[in-house]
Amino acid sequence: MSPGGDLPWFRRGLRDGIPICMGYFAVSFALGITARGIGMNALQAGLMSMGMVASAGEFAAIVLIQSSAGVIEMITTCIVVNLRYFLMSCSLSQKLSPDLPFYHRFLLPYCITDEIFGLSSAVEGYLNPFYTYGMTIVSVAGWTTGTVLGVLMGNIMPDWAVNALSVSLYGMFLAIIIPPSKKDRFIAGLVLISMASSGLFSLLPVLRDISGGFKVIILTLLIAGAAAFIHPVEEAKAAS
């Protein structure tokens, strides 16, 4: 278990959740506006955000509701759009202590978003789940409030604020991947190759038509798969 008790980790989670909350607020506000556009009410949109906690996944959900999709179509689309969370959960399952009470394996899945996953993986050693729960409470509060306000108030947030807030989530991603790149050249190379490939995917014909969710899955499988082959991590590192 990582040093520190549950309560300090929970508090740290609440603090680290603040920038996530801000970024989520801006994104979910836009989501709320979209939901309102297809006739969803604030309760429906709020429940959706609280229950799903997924950006692209919820945009897809709105489209499905708008098109009165059937059950099979809803389930398959949800699986495809949210498949990257499957990979993230696989990865995070290896950060858990073997002694961790079993119920955490039912609570942690709810918390797996791009940002919360990123921060939870960045912890040294085993993950204390209360860190993740702290971040999740703050983030989901922002995510849900943003969605509800988006539905209720529509387009009242000024452009400059939406613009500025919209990059905060990416800033957090950089704060997660750049410091380890400084210490480990292989990680640095991995980050560079990943960014370059992602850039190519958005420029090249055919490849640029692949949806964002699929791009993440394809590139993660290819690049992380190749990296694991070229440079297998030693035991001590993989456990951390």
Partner 1 sequence: MNPGVYPSLLIMCLTVYCIRMLPFLVFRREITNTWLRSFLYYVPYVTLAVMTFPAIITATNDIRSGIAALIVGLLTAWYKGDLFVVALSCCAAVFVTGLIL
Q: Please report, as residue ranges, which positions from 31 to 90 form the binding site for partner 1 (by CB under 8 A).
A: 40, 44, 47-48, 51-52, 54, 57, 61, 64-65, 68-71, 74-75, 78-79, 82-90
CB of 3 to partner 1, least distance (A): 19
Among 4, 8, 59, 118, binds partner 1 (CB under 8 A): 118
> Minimal distance in Å, beta carbon 48 to partner 1?
5
Question: 37 or 179: whose CB is closer to partner 1?
Answer: 179
Kind plus residue range of the DSSP H or E element containing 9: helix 6-37
Cα–Cα distances in angstroms (integers) from residue 31 to residues 42, 47, 157, 227, in the given order:
11, 13, 13, 36
Selected from 14, 30, 31, 112, the binder of partner 1 by CB under 8 A is: 112
108 vs 149 by CB, closer to partner 1: 108
List of residues 6+ apart from 13 with CB closer than 8 A: 130, 131, 132, 133, 134, 135, 136, 137, 138
DSSP of 154-167 = -S-S-HHHHHHHHT
Q: Verify binding: residue 214, partner 1, rule CB under 8 A.
A: no
Distance CA 226, CA 222 (A): 6
Question: Among 13, 14, 23, 131, which residue sits at the site for partner 1 (rule: CB under 8 A)?
Answer: 23
Q: Closest approach of Cβ 37 to partner 1, in Å? A: 15
Are 17 and 119 within 8 A, CB to CB? no
CA distance linking residue 1 with residue 5, whole number of Å: 9
By CB under 8 A, the residues from 154 to 213 that bind partner 1 are 159-160, 163-180, 182, 187, 190-192, 194-195, 197-199, 202, 212
